[in-house]
Structure 1
């Protein structure tokens, strides 16, 4: 019995060694390469960049209200009818052509439009921060997808190796049973362990398939061999100092601050709506009867002052609404600040727990390896049963699986800390990508260019390059 046991144990040792070393044999993709693909692929980023461009246009539209507004009008009118009186019946039929141009220029509105313009600019800045927050979500999702695939790939390899070893053991048990060295119970134990291993292998393959689909959704392509990150982000470990950094720099809190500023400007704009509005106006018009001699040429210009007297309480309601929205945005800022501080604390707690689990898992692997080797030697001397060896080998594989999971959790937790600080962006990570400039489009549209202007033509080229026109 001892030679067969030694041969099987030798095969088990070789199998475990092969499993633990296969991850370094292939050309593997780095985490940075995965993040680059996620940044370039993300439809969520494209969506929020488009929303930012829409916010940029809001500012341009409000600015346009401060410029001269010129409209034209034209009509062709045919007039016909009959008139009957004491002298008889007469018919009426003529056609008139009329054209006109009108101009209006806002001179003063109590600052309402200016307040609205400044509010729109604050909204643009808030939307930029929202885009930065989405970028963090996209990259953190890619980190998690990367680590899930790595973990499940190694789980499949471990379970497959375990399955092969148990098949060898079952054959050895059957051989020993045939010569009377073991009982039917030993064979049944090996069969039961093999059946359990098949179930665990199938579950591992299912988990890997799901993680591959998540990787494809997050990154835009299927994963290949993935290289473990060589180093983690450099984190200070000081929770209080990190919380202060997050309160100053996290995109969520900067967005909330901009929203408060915009809401306060909206209150000022609502208050200005009660003030007089002064405009300069002018128009010229010409009309002529087709086929006749009648024609007219008219023109006028002047200054108009308008203001509300009574609108059923609408204006005061709008002001109260703006004040309520301002108060809501202030409350949101307060809540966001507390959430950011809490997220930093939670992220560090998760990271430290993951690091502790990794240390424990490494110690567990070391101890399980020593135990496995000891049980193997004792079995070779006849002091241990085959089931004892199987149990020790299973404990070693389980310990290795725990260590793989702990390694993946540490990486995800470290990048989650970066996200809680507001530093998980392509710029902060120095990714090899062409960074999106959130101010570029605004700089093109902030002066509300018309299509025939040089700036408008440049804007058209930008839109064509984006594929949005």
Structure 2
């Protein structure tokens, strides 16, 4: 009795889940809609955009080092005690002095053998490298959105297929029991059909579970639960051949461009290590005002200093840093070759997976047609007594497997096609022409590249930008 009660509860829960599945929103959502939502929703993109803005500020910082540094200080001091001197007639007398001192200093690098300029160049190349890293993250976000979309589409079709299979086998079980009552089939035939129905119910529960998992993944990736997803009508436009795709990838894939900028940074750092062994020429100026309060004593002074300074011996550290910069440059050049081969391999792998998925889909279509004909024939033969119930159930299972395989193969084909776009660097909001405002990495850079101060008009504009971004 307990098992019967549990079975009823299980059927009620399953029916409730099926009803929720059937009551899908009427509004439709295309793959392009999902990609646009993922682009706007992604916290990973926001994180890497902020990291790019931080790299932009490195350029401003390097430029600021080339400008004069002006600083001020004000000091107030009181000195007191006792003294004995000729001015006090040899007697011990107390004294107290209050002094106010103001200093204004300025420092400007006159010549540094290019150290400052090289620092700016290195920071700019780092910015360009970070931009390519951001594009790589964007491609991953888009790929995840495609996978989430196709997973929901595939799992929802699997649910519909499993529900249809349960209905069909339920009718077959009813027919088998009727035929058993009149003696046309044995109890074994009824038991086989009951087992098939139990298996179909289990598959339906599994399909519903997979659908719920896919919905949660979709929400995490896109930002909301799926709304009546519309199947794509065609694959994205792809390169005409694998070779042309590899050529495109080598020229424009973000991993390749990032590696090239990293090589440029390493080359500049070698020059910076060389320049670090050379002297600096700086001009320094200072103005000092000192007033002893309570009397007429005061002093004003100004100094101008032209200073040249450089290393003579640093224990071999500067030479070690120079050799280290060369080694790191060589490592980055080697990495460029590795990235090139990896990018070309990824293109080849993406095309191979697409070919496999396409072939699998075509084969699944043929399998469905053949399995449909076979199932109808076996079922007809069973009514004539030349086939058993087990034959019918096996033929039906083969047809179900063929249909399920087609659903998976069709989803795999779309994922593989978009992975081809990712392998050549074209799985971005701009390349896909999504209906979203595309983030412009140069906009913030153009505001900070001249290192504006807080009180300047450009600095005030930056404050407004940061507030709009919700960072302050």
Q: TM-score, structure 2 length as denominator?
A: 0.91
Tell me the distance in 2 between the aligned counterparts of 1:236 and 1:122: 30
Offset of 1:203 from its aligned partner? 1.5
1:44-443 paired onto structure 2 within 5 Å:
44-83=44-83, 87-443=90-446
1:25-65 Cα offsets, whole Å, 9 max, x none, are 96531110100001111111111111111111001000001
1:298-351 Cα offsets, whole Å, 9 max, x none, are 111121111111223222222222222211211111110010010000000000
Residue 3 of structure 1 is matched in structure 2 by: none
Of stretches 344-353 and 74-83 in structure 1, the one that deviates more from structure 2 is 74-83
Whether the 8 Å CA contact 2:371–2:395 is kept in 1: the answer is: yes
1:200-254 Cα offsets, whole Å, 9 max, x none, are 1121122111111111111111012111111112223421221111001100000
Residue 10 of structure 1 is matched in structure 2 by: none
Offset of 1:390 from its aligned partner? 2.2
Of stretches 308-317 and 185-194 in structure 1, the one that deviates more from structure 2 is 308-317
Q: Secondary structure at the match of 1:427?
A: helix
Whether the 8 Å CA contact 2:192–2:389 is kept in 1: the answer is: no
Residue 36 of structure 1 is matched in structure 2 by: 36
Whether the 8 Å CA contact 2:26–2:227 is kept in 1: the answer is: no
Whether the 8 Å CA contact 1:237–1:348 is kept in 2: the answer is: no
Tell me the distance in 1 between the aligned counterparts of 2:260 and 2:223: 34
Residue 457 of structure 1 is matched in structure 2 by: 460
Of stretches 39-48 and 156-165 in structure 1, the one that deviates more from structure 2 is 156-165
Residue 15 of structure 2 is matched in structure 1 by: none
Residue 5 of structure 2 is matched in structure 1 by: none
Residue 7 of structure 1 is matched in structure 2 by: none
Q: Secondary structure at the match of 2:75?
A: strand
Structure 2: any 5+ residue segments left out of the alignment?
Answer: 1-21
Residue 13 of structure 2 is matched in structure 1 by: none
Tell me the distance in 1 between the aligned counterparts of 2:173 and 2:379: 17
Offset of 1:174 from its aligned partner? 2.8
Whether the 8 Å CA contact 2:361–2:409 is kept in 1: the answer is: yes
Tell me the distance in 1 between the aligned counterparts of 2:84 and 2:190: 120
Of stretches 402-411 and 384-393 in structure 1, the one that deviates more from structure 2 is 384-393
Residue 3 of structure 2 is matched in structure 1 by: none
1:58-82 Cα offsets, whole Å, 9 max, x none, are 0100000111110111111122333
1:79-122 Cα offsets, whole Å, 9 max, x none, are 23334689343333222111111001111001011111101101
Q: CA RMSD in A?
A: 1.8
Whether the 8 Å CA contact 1:365–1:400 is kept in 2: the answer is: yes
Q: Could you list the structure 1 runs, at least 4 aligned residues long, displaced by more than 4 angstroms after superposition.
A: none
Q: Secondary structure at the match of 2:429?
A: coil
Q: Secondary structure at the match of 2:282?
A: strand
Tell me the distance in 1 between the aligned counterparts of 2:439 and 2:240: 31
Offset of 1:362 from its aligned partner? 0.4
Q: How many residues align?
A: 447
Tell me the distance in 1 between the aligned counterparts of 2:336 and 2:158: 44
Offset of 1:424 from its aligned partner? 0.7
